[in-house]
Amino acid sequence: MAQVMMKDLNKKYDEVHAVKDVNLHIRDKEFMVLVGPSGCGKSTTLRMVAGLEEITSGEISIGDRVVNDLPPKDRDIAMVFQNYALYPHMTVYDNMAFGLKMRKFPKVEIQKRVQDAAEILGIQELLKRKPRQLSGGQRQRVAVGRAIVRHPQVFLFDEPLSNLDAKLRVQMRVELKRLHERLETTAIYVTHDQVEAMTLGDRVVVMKDGWIQQVGEPLELYGRPANKFVAGFIGSPSMNFVDVKVADANGALWAETQGIRVKVPPIHTSRLVPYKGQQVTMGVRPEDLHPASGSDPREYCFDAVVDVVEPLGSEILLDLRVGNNTIVARVEPTNRVKVHESTRLALTPDRAHFFDLKTELAI
């Protein structure tokens, strides 16, 4: 039973305030992903949980114990590093047994645990090899194995898949998810890849500049981003942002800018009333734009000129120009629109987002 609590957690280096007032409750058995661009403080946060970085202020507890002053070894955690951190002078077996040996486990117990882990990961054949005789994917399995054998209360993953090629990354992602379901151990996973975050996390923490931006389940972050940063960070291709003026006409609110005049969807109307006459940022995801057809209400349509066509097979990405804005739309692969042609687009009304221009918070 191990939940992880972070209370008012801060990390300051000489000039950099890397982690700012982080409060986070990671539940027992939860797979929590910390995601954000480089330098956002996610790795530093993880390293403070591990005990590799000192805590400037605040409190971390694992299970029921405050671990601020506990040496890493006594925190009952196991960490998997981005570059695997396998010892080149040891065999796979010795690498996996390392932590147990350091803790003076009996030999029989070590052997059993290493065998079990090797079996789970399908690396029994590799136990006598040295790390340099392994492929990247195999090395990462060994690194995960070294963590598993310790039966820790919490797994810490620091960008474990970033060194793998794209195909292997997808494969290992699935394996990690399966592994977590099997072991049911609390896990904190750091990545800069929002796809990894969305697919692996029970919940996801988005960080930027040391601040937590939002904590939530993947679809919650996708559907109801708390601010413009989260909206742009989660989802690929990124959400389109257009600065619009909120105008009042014919008893309804309209979002207007050069080339676009769409009605504010009913679900947003009440919240946008105070912004009447002001500028706000409208956000629409590429997948929430589609070629307009007769059934689309006219007040949600606008015209755009195609700049670039990117056929991806399962879909086509259109880069379009509307007034001074460039936007991306994700359309069906059967779409036959050509470069420089004008096309009429419609947006899915209840999927539009609005953000305060100054605070960038969702309205």
Partner 1 sequence: MRVATTARRRDIQVAYLLLAPTLLLLLTALAYPVGWEVWTSLTDLSPLKDGPTAFVGLENYRRFLADPEFWRAATVTVVYAAVTSVAKLSLGVGFALLLARPFRGRALVFLAIFLPWAYPASVSVIGWYWTLNPPIPTAYSVFMGNVKYAVDGVLGGGAWAFLSVTLFNIWRGSSFIGVFLLAGINAVPPELFECAVLESKSAWRRFWLVTVPLLKPFLALAVFLSLTTAFADLANVWMLTAGRIVYPVVGTHAYWLAIRGGQFGPASALSLTLVPFLLAVLLILFRMFDPPEKERA
Residues that bind partner 1 (CB under 8 A): 50-52, 71-74, 77-79, 81-83, 85, 87-89, 98-99, 102-103, 128-130, 133
Q: Which is nearer to partner 1, 159 or 288 (CB)?
A: 159
Q: Minimum Å distance from CB 139 to partner 1?
A: 12
Q: Minimum Å distance from CB 133 to partner 1?
A: 6
Q: Which is nearer to partner 1, 128 or 276 (CB)?
A: 128
Distance of CA 15 to CAs 11, 12, 336, Å?
A: 11, 7, 54
Q: Which is nearer to partner 1, 52 or 357 (CB)?
A: 52
Q: Minimum Å distance from CB 157 to partner 1?
A: 13
- Distance CA(294)–CA(292), nearest Å, equals 7
- Distance CA(210)–CA(193), nearest Å, equals 17
Q: Quote the longest CA-to-CA distance of the chain.
A: 81
The residues, ordered by sequence, that sit 6+ positions from 265 with a Cβ below 8 Å of its Cβ are 300, 349, 350, 352
Tokens encoding 145 = 């194995």
- Would you call 76 helix, strand, or coil by DSSP? coil
- Distance CA(32)–CA(39), nearest Å, equals 19
- In order, the DSSP letters of 19-52 are EEEEEEEEPTT-EEEEE-STTSSHHHHHHHHHTS
Q: Which is nearer to partner 1, 50 or 62 (CB)?
A: 50
Helical ranges in 157-294 per DSSP H:
166-183, 194-200, 218-223, 228-233, 266-272
194: how many CB neighbours lie within 10 A of its CB?
Answer: 23
How far from chain centre, in Å, is Cα 45? 15
Q: Which is nearer to partner 1, 96 or 255 (CB)?
A: 96
Q: Which is nearer to partner 1, 73 or 298 (CB)?
A: 73
Q: Minimum Å distance from CB 90 to partner 1?
A: 8
Q: Minimum Å distance from CB 83 to partner 1?
A: 6
Q: Which is nearer to partner 1, 71 or 251 (CB)?
A: 71
Q: Which residues of 98-135 are buried (b: 16+ CB within 10 A; e: fewer)?
A: bbbeeeebeeeebeebbeebbebbebeebbeebbeebe
- Distance CA(209)–CA(41), nearest Å, equals 7
Q: Minimum Å distance from CB 45 to partner 1?
A: 16
Burial class (CB in 10 A: 0-12, 13-18, 19+), 68: middle
Q: Which is nearer to partner 1, 77 or 246 (CB)?
A: 77
Q: Minimum Å distance from CB 132 to partner 1?
A: 10
Burial class (CB in 10 A: 0-12, 13-18, 19+), 313: exposed
Q: Minimum Å distance from CB 362 to partner 1?
A: 38
Q: Minimum Å distance from CB 46 to partner 1?
A: 12
Q: Which is nearer to partner 1, 94 or 356 (CB)?
A: 94
